[in-house]
């Protein structure tokens, strides 16, 4: 199996390339973005040394499915998916915050709660809660988008006071966030899943707010299996998860949390193959569809040529 961890295309009309933790984004004529979802994997804001075959395809195809499933709520940036690993869409000016919404006390929020905090991003959390318990109402806990390093918790009032987002736009982002999360939760419930928490990114073009990037993928979201949730909660047991949390847990168990001086544990071929299997499982459980591997026998160069050909044809069609 081949993993795509680096791309270096030169598309017609290309103005720039941005390399994120997982995505390589190409600006075409300041009108379109070509987002290549690579097989890189990050945890604790660190890109791990080994790529995960098919991970990019899993993320790209889940995101495309949920962008389509929420397009009646607000417009999104997606125009086409010319390749299993690529989305082509409108270029927008991104808001410099990520909208995180949490329906349950898990992950980062639980770690803060366990440390004694009862507010997160200026939002109060009730006393007496236990890990993975459902909040009375979902809470929005935004983060500032760091150019590099860790994103930071930030409150609504800090966002508005600092001018990161106007009050009018921010309150619209909140309304959209709640509506998309409600839709995602409904879809998850039909699949026997609970959408625990997730994050969204938004941008603006010609005065219109667009939903951008990925949504409801295992990299941006946490899912629990609904079956047995209440029983596990009552017994204080760990929930069965569908998310990238299993990667974080493996890293933590091996002494890595992204802190200075810590070393990423050895990612053996068996570990990498196991992570691929988990991502395929995530895809099939989240979408209810069988995962079809886009390049089972291809080597890295074959996959890169396929991407280049497919994207070039798409861009030509856009004119």
In 3D, which of 115, 107, 116 has the Cα closest to residue 43? 107
Query: In the chain, what is the straight-line distance between the N-terminal and C-terminal CA atoms, in Å?
Result: 35
Q: Mean pLDDT throughout 76-94?
A: 97
**Percentage of residues in the chain having pLDDT higher than 70:** 97
| pTM, to two decimals | 0.90
Read off the tokens for 173. 């982002």
**Would you say residue 66 has pLDDT above 70?**
yes
Structural domain 94-243, CATH architecture: 2-Layer Sandwich (3.30)
pLDDT band at 25 (very low <50, low <70, confident <90, very high): very high
pLDDT of 141-154, one tens digit each? 999 976 555 678 99
What mean pLDDT value characterizes the chain?
Answer: 94
Comparing CA positions, the residue from 243, 227, 233 lying closest to residue 283 is: 243
Question: Per-residue confidence at 299, pLDDT binned at 50, 70, 90?
Answer: confident
Q: Is the pLDDT of residue 214 over 80?
A: yes
Residue 220 has pLDDT above 70, yes or no: yes
């Amino acid at each position: 199996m081949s993993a795509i961890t680096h791309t270096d295309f030169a598309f017609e009309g290309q103005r720039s390339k941005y390399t994120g933790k997982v995505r390589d984004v190409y600006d075409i004529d300041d009108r379109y973005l070509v987002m290549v979802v690579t097989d890189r994997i990050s945890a604790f804001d660190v890109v791990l040394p080994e790529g995960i075959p098919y991970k990019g395809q899993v993320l790209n195809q889940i995101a495309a499915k949920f962008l389509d499933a929420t397009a009646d709520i607000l417009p999104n940036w997606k125009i086409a998916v010319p390749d299993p690993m690529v989305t082509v869409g409108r270029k927008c000016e991104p808001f410099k915050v990520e909208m995180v919404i949490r329906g349950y006390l898990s992950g980062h929020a639980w770690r803060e709660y366990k440390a004694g905090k009862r507010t997160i991003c200026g939002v109060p959390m009730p006393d007496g809660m236990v890990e993975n318990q459902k909040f009375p109402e979902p809470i929005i806990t935004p983060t500032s988008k760091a150019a590099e390093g860790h994103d930071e918790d930030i409150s609504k009032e800090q966002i508005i006071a600092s001018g990161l987002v106007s009050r009018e736009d921010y309150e619209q982002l909140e309304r959209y966030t709640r509506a998309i999360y409600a839709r995602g939760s409904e879809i998850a419930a039909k699949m026997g899943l609970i959408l625990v928490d997730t994050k969204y990114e938004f941008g603006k073009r010609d005065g219109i707010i667009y939903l951008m990037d990925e949504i409801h993928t295992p990299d941006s979201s946490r899912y629990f299996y609904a079956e047995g949730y209440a029983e596990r909660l009552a017994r204080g047991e760990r929930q069965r998860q569908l998310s990238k949390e299993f990667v974080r847990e493996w890293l933590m168990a091996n002494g890595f949390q992204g802190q200075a001086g810590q070393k990423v544990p050895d990612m053996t071929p068996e570990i990498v193959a196991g992570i691929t299997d988990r991502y395929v499982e995530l895809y099939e459980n989240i979408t209810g569809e069988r995962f079809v591997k886009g390049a089972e026998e291809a080597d890295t160069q074959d996959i890169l040529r396929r991407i280049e050909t497919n994207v070039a044809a798409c861009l030509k069609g856009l004119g």
